[in-house]
Amino acid sequence: MITLPPRWRVALHYGALSGIGSFLIFIAIYLKGSNPLGIASWLGAWIPIVFICIATKYYRDRILGGFITYGNAFMIGVLTVFCASVLFALLIYIFGVFTNEAFIQVHIQETLANLDESKMFIGSKLYKETLERVENMTLGEAIYQDLFSKMVGGVIIALITAAYYRRKPDHQL
């Protein structure tokens, strides 16, 4: 049997909870009739933040005995958001396969409407390239974009939580 290091066990546990929580928000937005990959998806932005904080604090207090370096705190946050993002992307992919990618068409239409509103701010060449890319968007591309944005946001949150939860032993202050 393979035993994972404590860092990975904590990250997988809280990352899975975060990914499932984010997916439940995704489903709620979808059932409401909105675009679950669009602006409404920000309703679930708090979920990864909460679980990164919980994972970092748990790892510091329960695994490392109350002390954690900035690097270890940052790493547990990044691993947690990585696990959450990958699970979320996998769940969206499975959902997309079973719903015949219906939500992707809604996402494409909303993105096209937003692109038309920003037409005057970008050049015509960039507009045409973006328009073509959006019109031909696949389920995989939409999931990849969401995965990437969640990872970037998660790394930023991990940087902040690492600074907040960092704690050295009293004799090293």
CA 146 to chain centre: 7
CA pair distance 123, 136, nearest whole angstrom? 20
Structure tokens at 155: 């790394």
| Phi (first) and psi of residue 136, to 5 degrees | -100, 15
Reference 152, options 72, 54, 85; nearest CA is 85
Q: Residue 93 has which token pair?
A: 């992919």
Mean pLDDT of successive 10-residue stretches along the chain, which has 173 residues: 90 98 96 89 93 97 94 97 97 90 85 83 83 90 93 96 89 54
pLDDT of residue 141: 93
**What per-residue confidence (pLDDT) applies to 122?**
81
**What is the pLDDT, as a whole number, of residue 100?**
77
**pTM for the model:** 0.89
Say how far apart CA 146 and CA 134 lie, in whole Å: 14
Q: Where are the domains of the chain?
A: 6-99+141-172
| Residue pair 127/55 in contact by the 8 Å Cβ criterion | no
Phi/psi for 69 (5° steps) reads: -85, 165
